[in-house]
């Protein structure tokens, strides 16, 4: 049974601690409650804004003239699977890191590099969350999502999710009518450490780590480099790393010989934006009023207290312009502006 609330401050439901009030706010703990919440919106001809942990969104200062539905569908079910070991079907409302901790505790490899990422399980396919060389796209068997138009739950195969670099079908205009309700991950009992990123190479050297050691190392590294959500308002990396053509990369390399680049499977070159911001533009820790880049990682924008969505947006535009002027590269945002 749903319990709609009125005038709820969304700043209290986002890790940026930014956002005006929602006219209506409903927490959906089950599929039935999600359906009820959608009917509530449809009967009043109101738009729906689904949210999870609020950790990858920037909510406008004037809030939401519609129904915010907080997705709180629970459940973690493991089933053995012949092909790869274990299938984990997880409710969209589960805390992502609680699921990672649980999988690791059970000895299931796959998600350990994605330790200590804030937010809910349902949010991970939407932007194809990734860290330290592992993306959820490589682990997802299917996604179940509620179609707000037809009222049916539909199962999307991995291919249908159309995963890309921090993107998926669910980020497209067409995909936004679906609300993720559960995600099925392929995990394995077979040790498969992915430790080729420099921080993990540094942590382990020649040692082949156990599963729990990988999780512990990622948690330690992230605690050093990323802001503590208890202290800072932030949505993590605000921008995506740009992926440029090899011709554009050669041009950049001519101008900036030290610029790093990582070849992608599609032939493009991924350029760490953090390097551009730090080394080229000197923007590490740069601040305008209550908004700034984080000292430990300049891709992360921080609300130091009292910043508005407008402030963050203006700051992000400044960064975008500076990067474009210096490199000719148009960077994209990872954090989604809502509504």
Interface residues with ligand NAP (CB under 6 A) are 130-133, 196-199, 225-226, 236-237, 241, 262, 270, 272, 274, 297, 334
Residue 181's alpha-carbon distances to 9, 59, 79, 155, 159, in angstroms, are 24, 22, 18, 10, 18
Query: Which residue number, 9 or 225, has a Cβ lying nearer to ligand NAP?
Result: 225
Based on CB atoms, which residue is closest to ligand NAP, 81 or 295?
A: 295
Of 278, 255, 113, 258, the C-alpha closest to 195 is 113
* Termini Cα distance of the chain: 26
Query: Minimal CB distance to ligand NAP: which residue?
Result: 236
Which residues form the catalytic set?
Answer: 166, 237, 334
Tokens 């050297």, residue located? 205
**Shortest distance in whole angstroms from residue 127 CB to ligand NAP:** 7
Given the complex with ligand NAP, which of 77 and 98 has the nearer CB atom?
98
* Residue listed under structure tokens 């399980």: 121
Q: In sequence order, what are the residues at sequence separation of 6 or more whose Cβ sits closer than 8 angstroms to the Cβ of residue 335?
A: 56, 57, 58, 235, 236, 237, 238, 301
Least distance between ligand NAP and beta carbon 246 (Å): 15
Instruction: Give least dist CB 235 to ligand NAP, A.
Output: 7
Q: Which is nearer to ligand NAP, 149 or 196 (CB)?
A: 196
Question: CA-based angle 52:54:55, to the nearest 5?
Answer: 115
At its nearest, how many Å lie between ligand NAP and the CB of residue 262? 4
CA–CA dist 250, 244 (Å, integer): 10
Cα 197 from Cα 310, distance rounded (Å): 35
Residue 270 vs 284, nearer CB to ligand NAP: 270
Min CB(197)–ligand NAP separation in Å:
5
Closer to ligand NAP by CB, 34 or 131: give it: 131
Which residue, chain included where needed, has tokens 């929602």? 22
Task: Classify 327 as helix, strand or coil.
Answer: helix
Q: Are 209 and 191 in contact (CB under 8 A)?
A: no
- Burial tier of 194 (Cβ tally within 10 Å: 0-12, 13-18, 19+): middle
From CA 61, how far away is CA 162, in angstroms rounded?
32
CB of residue 26 to ligand NAP, shortest distance in Å: 27
Q: Which of 256, 239, 252, 205 is nearest to 313 (CA)?
A: 239
Q: Minimal distance in Å, beta carbon 128 to ligand NAP? A: 10
In terms of CB distance, is 128 or 181 closer to ligand NAP? 128
């Amino acid at each position: 049974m749903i319990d709609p609330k009125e005038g709820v401050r969304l700043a209290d439901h986002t890790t940026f601690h930014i956002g005006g009030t929602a006219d209506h706010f409903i927490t959906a703990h089950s599929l039935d409650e999600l359906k009820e919440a959608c009917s509530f919106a449809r009967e009043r001809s109101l738009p729906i804004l689904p949210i999870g942990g609020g950790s990858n969104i920037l909510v406008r200062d004037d809030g939401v003239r519609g129904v915010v539905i907080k997705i709180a569908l629970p459940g973690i079910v493991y089933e053995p699977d012949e092909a790869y070991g274990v299938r984990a079907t997880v409710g969209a409302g589960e805390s992502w890191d609680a699921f990672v901790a649980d999988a690791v505790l059970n000895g299931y490899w796959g998600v350990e590099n994605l330790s200590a990422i804030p937010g809910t399980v349902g949010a991970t396919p939407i932007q194809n969350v990734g860290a330290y060389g592992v993306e959820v796209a490589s682990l997802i068997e299917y996604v179940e999502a509620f179609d707000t138009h037809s009222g049916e739950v539909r199962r999307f195969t991995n291919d249908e999710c159309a995963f890309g670099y921090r993107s998926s079908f669910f980020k497209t205009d067409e995909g936004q009518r679906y609300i993720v309700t559960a995600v099925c991950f392929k995990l394995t009992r077979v040790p498969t450490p992915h430790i080729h990123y420099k921080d993990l190479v540094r942590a382990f050297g020649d040692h082949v780590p156990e599963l729990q050691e990988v999780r512990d190392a990622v948690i330690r590294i992230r605690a050093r480099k990323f802001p503590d959500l208890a202290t800072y308002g932030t949505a993590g990396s605000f921008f995506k790393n740009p992926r440029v053509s090899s011709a554009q990369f050669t041009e950049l390399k001519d101008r900036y010989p030290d610029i790093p680049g990582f070849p992608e499977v599609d032939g493009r070159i991924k350029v760490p934006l953090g390097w551009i911001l730090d080394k080229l533009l000197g923007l590490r820790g740069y601040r305008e009023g209550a908004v700034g880049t984080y000292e430990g990682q300049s891709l992360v924008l921080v609300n130091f207290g009292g910043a508005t969505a407008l402030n963050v947006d203006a700051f992000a535009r400044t960064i975008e312009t500076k990067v474009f002027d210096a490199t000719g590269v148009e960077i994209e945002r990872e954090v989604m502006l809502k509504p």
